[in-house]
Structure 1
Amino acid sequence: MLRHLTSKIKATGPITVAEYMREVLTNPVTGYYVRNNMLGPDGDFITSPEISQIFGELIGVWILSEWMGAGQPKQLQLVELGPGKGSLASDVLRVFSQLRSVLGEASVSLHLVEVSPALSRIQAQTLTGNQSQEADTEDELVYRRGETAAGLPVNWYRRLDDVPAGFSIVLAHEFFDALPVHKFQRTPKGWREVLVDIDPEKPEQLRFVAAPAPTLASSTLVQAGERRSHVEVCAEGGVIIQQLARRITEDGGAALIADYGHNGTKTDTFRGFKGHQLHDVLSSPGSADLTADVDFSYLRRMRTFLRNMGIDSRMQVLLRNCSDASTRKQLISSYDVLTNPAKMGERFHFFSLLHPSRLEIPKRPEGLKLEKNPTPAPLPVAGFTELKFS
């Protein structure tokens, strides 16, 4: 990967951070996500579904709630973007199985958007056992098909656009933080985009530099009135939000985004993880995960969301039914990780997209006084200088 990147930079000049992330993570030959199984205790990081089954169970309850609120359509497509090991989808489907009487005759199917062949095989094993097979040719939209033990169809796609139209609940758990970001630095001459270049004194190393003049990205992506001195913008994430909004408006459904993020307050969050430890983002590209906190505006804190969905009650049920001391200790530990403000409780956020019909204020029952919620504000949608970030 380093040879590939240095050859690219020598040929065309410094590249954007977004292009660097895209190459390092999803290059079809040497990309980190394409060729690695990076999840779990033996990988580079661990996600919420691997911490506790409660996480996925409560997401399943939320999905059923939204499906019922939409009038219980006869078709329910569960779509997950970047499904990891398939743990979240597995926990959600377990809830569906336990509440099958609620779903009635509804037709349920699972659609996974995954760019990594290595991860798709792990997901298939988790969700279908040996009941999946790859497509005969690479140009097929569905590159893998399978079936769960309960008979639910599972399809794999490379892009969200390839998922068929229809009422869908879309999950994006720790997906947006891996999308490429553009980085911008305020300078005395105005906003300049941060680029990745070869260090002239150490040709085998990369460094950050500031573009000598405005770029198209720095001229269009930085919001007017921005007060921070350093900004990260995920243009690709904005495109996906527009895609989701269009699908929900046209076909019904909802989307739930769960990720590490902030409300437009942080500056430099671009970082790498290797072996569950922070790793220099420019060192040994392709050997570590790269991530940047998602810049949300209106979101709900994880602790509030999970407690509203009943995490405390579910935790008590699991503890009552568990007699093994070590398992009880693990349950309590995982609960603490998910809800403790010093851990994920205040750093992990939920952001939902709903159909306009779900946002209408219900009619006031006779004799009951309701206060109308305020309308939310719209969502914010050759002389290089070396840059160093703490």
Structure 2
Amino acid sequence: MLRHLVTKIKATGPISVAEYMREVLTNPVTGYYVNNDMLGPDGDFITSPEISQVFGELLGVWCVSEWMGAGRPSSLQLVELGPGRGSLMNDILRVLGQLRSALGQTELSVHLVEVSPRLSQVQAQLLTGAQNQQADSEDQPVYRHGTSPAGLPVSWYRQLDDVPRGFSIFLAHEFFDALPVHKFQRTPRGWREVMVDVDPEDQLRFVIIPAPTLASSSLIQVDEKRDHVEVCPGGGVIVQRLSNRIAEDGGAALIADYGHDGTKTDTFRGFKGHRLHPVLEAPGSADLTADVDFSYLRKMAARRGVACLGPLPQRDFLRNMGVDTRMQVLLRSCEDPARRTQLIHSYDLLTSPDHMGLRFQFLCLLAQSRLAPAPPRPAPAPPRPAQGLKVDDKTPAPLPVAGFSELTFS
């Protein structure tokens, strides 16, 4: 990868940080995501679904709540962007199996947008076992398809545009932070782009381009107050496409990621072996990421006429979805001291301000009609013992903004 980049830069000049990220992460021959299984304790980073099954369970409840709030459409597509090892979708499908009585005869299907052939194999093994196969031709939109143990069709795509239209719940967990960003620096002569060049010893380095670039002239907001800015135009395009689908076909999208609300500056970093890694060192051997600017995503979504809720810290979202109640149920039923310790530790990692509780943010995209005033709710039934995650005909209707207001369930 280093030889490839040095040759490229010497031939054409400095490249943008966005192009550098794109080459390092998704180059079809030597890209980091194409050739590595980077998740989990033996990888370079770990995600919330790998920490605790409760995370995926609560997102499964959120999916069902949004489907109920939309009037229980006859079909429901679960679409995940960048599904990692498939752990999140696996936990969601387990919850949907437990909530099957509430879903009735709804036609369910799973659609995964994944650029890594290696990760798609890992996902397929977890979600379908041996019940999957690759497409005969690489040109086909569905490059892998299979069937879950519950009989649900599961399909894999390389891009969002190939996913069939229809009522869909979109999930993007730690997806946007890996999309390429442009970096800009305010100078006495105006905004200039930070790019990647080579020094006389053929080592990579950052440089500030002296003249304006197309990106520096078009991507900076006119009211920008910061002196250093990272902009992810690809993320804006994807949010607009999600918004178009939600506005036209119905559904919702939940974006969960490291991020901020237009306040941070330089967040571009690398991870290798669960430790920070210099972003220009040994390209292709480490993950590259940048915090998501949720204020930018909101602006892009608003142009397509959908409602945006959040960003809301992960701690608040999970508590609104009932993580405390769920953990209490698990702890009461757990007799193994080691397992109890692990449950408490995972809860702390997910919700503590010192860990993921505040660093991760949740943004929800909804059709405008979903924010109509909810009808009066009936008086609550007398308290009964908690019995885990269950939904039946006696369950109160979900709140219009599940997860962004308190949602109680048994």
Q: Structure 2: how far apart are the matches of 1:241 and 1:121?
A: 27
From the superposition, tell whether residues 312 and 354 of structure 1 become closer, same or farther in structure 2 (CA, over 3 Å): same
SS at match of 2:315: helix
Q: Structure 2: how far apart are the matches of 1:289 and 1:197?
A: 20
User: Are 2:285 and 1:273 equivalent residues in the alignment?
Assistant: no
- For 1:213, the aligned partner's letter is A
Count of matched residue positions in the alignment of Structure 1 and Structure 2: 363
- For 2:125, the aligned partner's letter is Q
User: Are 2:333 and 1:335 equivalent residues in the alignment?
Assistant: no
Partner in structure 1 of residue 209 of structure 2: 211
Partner in structure 1 of residue 58 of structure 2: 58
Q: Structure 2: how far apart are the matches of 1:168 and 1:51?
A: 26
Partner in structure 2 of residue 93 of structure 1: 93
Summarize the alignment of residues 375-390 of structure 1 with structure 2, pairs less than 5 Å apart. Answer: none
- For 1:304, the aligned partner's letter is D
Tell me the CA shift for residue 360 of structure 1: 2.0
Partner in structure 2 of residue 223 of structure 1: 221
Tell me the CA shift for residue 361 of structure 1: 2.9
Tell me the CA shift for residue 12 of structure 1: 0.7
Tell me the CA shift for residue 212 of structure 1: 1.2
Q: Structure 2: how far apart are the matches of 1:79 and 1:104?
A: 20
Tell me the CA shift for residue 301 of structure 1: 1.2
User: Are 2:21 and 1:9 equivalent residues in the alignment?
Assistant: no
Partner in structure 2 of residue 155 of structure 1: 155
Partner in structure 1 of residue 20 of structure 2: 20
Partner in structure 1 of residue 255 of structure 2: 257
Q: Structure 1: how far apart are the matches of 2:162 and 2:23?
A: 22
1:357 to 369, 377, 391: 369
Tell me the CA shift for residue 363 of structure 1: 6.1
1:281-327, Cα deviation, whole Å (9 max, x unpaired): 00000000000000013411111110010000000011111111111
Summarize the alignment of residues 87-166 of structure 1 with structure 2, pairs less than 5 Å apart. Answer: 87-166=87-166
Summarize the alignment of residues 312-351 of structure 1 with structure 2, pairs less than 5 Å apart. Answer: 312-351=324-363
Which consecutive unaligned segments of at least 5 residues does structure 1 have? 366-390
Tell me the CA shift for residue 208 of structure 1: 0.2
Scaled by the length of structure 2, the TM-score of the pair is 0.87
1:69-116, Cα deviation, whole Å (9 max, x unpaired): 001001000000000000000000000000100000001000000000
Q: Structure 1: how far apart are the matches of 2:223 and 2:243?
A: 27
Partner in structure 2 of residue 80 of structure 1: 80
SS at match of 1:25: helix
- For 2:338, the aligned partner's letter is S
RMSD: 1.0
Which consecutive unaligned segments of at least 5 residues does structure 2 have? 296-309, 378-410
Summarize the alignment of residues 21-60 of structure 1 with structure 2, pairs less than 5 Å apart. Answer: 21-60=21-60
Partner in structure 2 of residue 369 of structure 1: none
Partner in structure 2 of residue 173 of structure 1: 173
Q: Which has the higher mean CA deviation after the structures are superposed, 220-229 or 76-85?
A: 220-229
SS at match of 1:88: helix
- For 2:266, the aligned partner's letter is D
